[in-house]
Chain A
Amino acid sequence: MHQEKAAIIKNKKITDQCWRLQLCSKNIARQAQPGQFLHVKISSNSQKPFLRRPFAVHSIEKKDEFSILYKIRGEATKLMRELKKGDKIDTIGPLGAGFQPSVNVQKYVLVAGGIGLAPLFFLTKELIDNKKEVVLIYGARTKNELLCTKELSKVKIKPLLATDDGSQGIKGNANNLLNNYLAKNKKEKIEVFAAGPRMMLKETARICKKAGVNLEVSMDEIMACGVGVCLGCAVKTKNGYKLACKDGPVFKAEDIIWE
């Protein structure tokens, strides 16, 4: 865990709603594991937004550069659009427990919904670098909202795509694709990793449980400290409340009580 003022290399709009922020930090770029996150102080001289914001590490670009993806949602992300090359932002990271793929698995199936692609892109690259077989299932609302299509083809991944309006891939969502995939590949030893909206993850968990495959999910929770002291980001599990910032953000889906 480090705290440092990371310099901005690039801040680029990549779709209508999403941006990619590339930052320079040796410590974070070298230490981050897929699924871990950063806690970012967006404005250094104002109390708006008041708290830091957590972002999943999206990609390690070079030895000392990495990037995050953000979607314009509220004041904090609106402010982030204004960040320019050379600006510095205070970051704490890498934080939390990331994905833990098992060794003896034939296929790693990654299920991303929308901006949930951010941590799963990092995991995809890591698994491919380790010569693992990866299937990436990716759903978005519409073709124009699909993220990182170029970057995915660079790492030679052809994702199975779904869009709500059918403008690319199947008409439907990532869970529909996962359901079909698991039905067709019953004999393979598969492990699933998912990130996306809570309602999607809940359904992903149901599908995986029914198919008898292990699933890890990355949970988004509102957070204050990011390091396990405020106990604000509680996730209800079979073993009591756990913290998204410390015990997670990645959890075994079978442990989570979804409600």
Chain B
Amino acid sequence: MGVDLAVKIGKLKLKNPVMVSSGTFGCGQQYEELVDLKELGAIVTKTITLQKREGNKPPRIAETYAGMLNAIGLENEGLNYFCETTLKYLNSLKTPSIISVAGKDENDYCKLVKELDKLKVKAVELNISCPNVKSKKKYMFSQDAQATYKLVSRVRKLTKTTLIVKLSPNVTDIKEIAKAAEDAGAEAVSLVNTFLGIAIDVNSRKPKLGNITGGLSGPAIKPLALRMVYEAASVLKIPIIGQGGIMSPEDGLEFIIAGATAISIGTANFIEPQSAILIKNGIEKYLVKNKIKNIKLLRGTIKIS
């Protein structure tokens, strides 16, 4: 029995629901020798900013229990470089790409989206949840429902391309923020970005990261991320791209059963570059075994008696 894995995120059609997360797969090129890129549902690019960013002072990563902390600081070559080089590569692929963008204020996001809209990119993910970048505000956009609504509304007016908003788990009520993004016109939300954390070297008593704090990812955060997807699914109509510590097909299935339309693989790529494909294959097997013809029929089927 063949099963249908195709899903839609906004106007973007994915032939399977397993994508790779921003900052964990470059633009795909770095992995093309190891991974059959056309097997991926989509590639979310490393976040780009208007200007080139140097990134944070090293050390930028620290291993933790079942996970890692990172504080890269959105190192990237900037919008112009991206449009002139990386985008050409992405457009040559059969796999759709989602361009992740971040800015220090609303105007930055607007400029980025306007430029990308001109180049007819298929989808944009607004990264309003990077924990490792200092902005003028004391908090991230995605830590405030009103700020999220205002930003997404402004950006929405500038483009018809599929608009995804990546949210932070470092909030009191994810439902409120996710709803704000939806109300403002987001076509999907990515849940979740990393959890703020810290690690200390007991010998030097210094933080293990140059940035002091960083974002925690990996299986250590999976139940937390899953809970947030489950909660957000109860209030949203738009698709959720579930992510946070997915390492296996079972992990991915949990997110879909909790209500995610698609899932995204992040940290697992560092350990097993083929993770997304292995997880996709595992999900397909599960559907066949359980005689579920279409992945959509599994979405949000958590049984609560």
**Nearest chain B residue, comparing its CB with the CB of A221:** B58
Complex contacts, B65 vs chain A, CB 8 Å: 50
Closest to B266 in A: A230
Judge if B100 is at the interface, Cβ distance under 8 Å: no
Proximity string of chain B (46-74) to chain A, C-beta cutoff 8 Å, 1 when within and 0 when not: 10000000111111111111111010100
A3-B30 contact, Cβ under 8 Å, with A229-B46, A235-B58:
no
- How far, in angstroms, from A235 to B57 measured CA to CA in the complex? 9
Residue of A nearest to B219 (CB): A47
Known interface pairs A41-B272, A50-B67, A52-B270. Does A229 touch B31 (Cβ–Cβ under 8 Å)? yes
Question: Would you call A236 and B63 a contact (CB within 8 A)?
Answer: no
Q: How far is the CA of A128 from the CA of B54 in the complex (A)?
A: 40
Asked whether B30 lies within 8 Å of A229 as measured between CB atoms, the reply is yes
Interface string of B16-27 (1 = CB under 8 A from A): 000000011110
Is B33 an interface residue when CB atoms closer than 8 A count as contact?
yes
CB atoms of B31 and A234 under 8 A apart = no
A79 on interface, CB distance cutoff 8 Å: no
Chain B residues with CB under 8 A of A236: 57-58
Smallest distance from the beta carbon of A122 to chain B beta carbons, Å? 23
Are B271 and A52 within 8 A (Cβ)?
yes
Contact of B75 among A3, A41, A92, A241 (CB under 8 A): A241
Q: Choose among A49, A222, A241 the residue that contacts B61 (Cβ–Cβ < 8 A).
A: A222
B273 at the interface (CB under 8 A from A): yes
B34 partner residues in chain A, CB cutoff 8 A: 1-3, 92, 227
**B218: interface (CB < 8 Å):** yes
Q: Which residues of B contact A229 (CB under 8 A)?
A: 23-26, 30-31, 46, 269-270
**B25, B33, B68: the one within 8 Å of A50 (CB):** B68
Interface pair B60/A231, CB less than 8 Å apart: yes
CA–CA, A99 and B72, complex, Å: 27
CB distance from B298 to the nearest CB of A (A): 26
B58–A224 touching, CB < 8 Å: no
A234 and B247 alpha carbons, distance in the complex (Å): 26
Chain B residues bordering chain A, tally (CB within 8 A): 37
Instruction: Choose one: A47, A90, A227, A240; the contact of B66 (CB below 8 Å).
Output: A47
B27 vs chain A, min Cβ distance (A): 9
Does any Cβ of B come within 8 Å of A207's Cβ?
Answer: no
Cβ of A197 < 8 Å from any Cβ of B? no
A166 at the A/B interface (Cβ < 8 Å)? no
A74 CB, nearest partner CB in chain B, Å = 9
Which A200-259 residues sit within 8 Å CB-CB of chain B?
Answer: 221-236, 240-241
Residue from the list A51, A227, A234 in contact with B60, Cβ < 8 A: A234
Shortest CB-to-CB span from B285 to chain A, Å, is: 19
Q: A47-B219, A224-B68, A232-B72 are in contact. Are A241 and B55 (CB under 8 A)?
A: yes
Cβ-closest chain B residue relative to A229: B26
* B273 contact set on A, CB distance < 8 A: 3, 92, 227
Q: Would you call B271 and A231 a contact (CB within 8 A)?
A: no
Query: B271 and A50: CB pair below 8 A?
Result: yes
- Nearest Cβ distance between residue B212 and chain A, in whole angstroms? 16
Q: Which residues of A contact B72 (CB under 8 A)?
A: 230-232
With beta carbons under 8 angstroms apart, the residue of B24, B26, B57, B63 that contacts A51 is B63
* A interface footprint on B267-280 (CB within 8 Å = 1, 0 otherwise): 10111111000000
Which of B46, B247, B271 touches A41 (beta carbons < 8 Å)?
A: B271
A226 to B24, CA, bound (A): 11
**Which of B59, B66, B273 lies at the interface centre, i.e. has the most chain A CB atoms within 10 A of its CB?**
B273
| Contact partners of B26 in chain A: CB under 8 A | 228-229
With both beta carbons as reference points, the residue of chain B lying nearest to A76 in the complex is identified as B63
Closest Cβ neighbor of B76 among chain A residues: A231
Most-contacted residue by chain A among B24, B26, B58, B66 (CB, 10 A): B58
Show 19 A/B contacts (Cβ-Cβ < 8 Å), sorted by A: A41-B271, A47-B66, A48-B66, A49-B63, A50-B67, A52-B270, A92-B34, A221-B58, A222-B59, A222-B63, A226-B270, A227-B30, A228-B30, A229-B31, A230-B23, A231-B46, A233-B61, A241-B54, A241-B58
Q: Which residues of chain A have a CB within 8 Å of any CB of chain B? A: 1-3, 41, 47-52, 90, 92, 221-236, 240-241
Known: A233-B58, A234-B55. 12 other contacts (CB 8 A): A1-B33, A1-B34, A47-B66, A51-B271, A90-B272, A224-B270, A225-B270, A229-B26, A230-B270, A232-B61, A232-B72, A241-B75
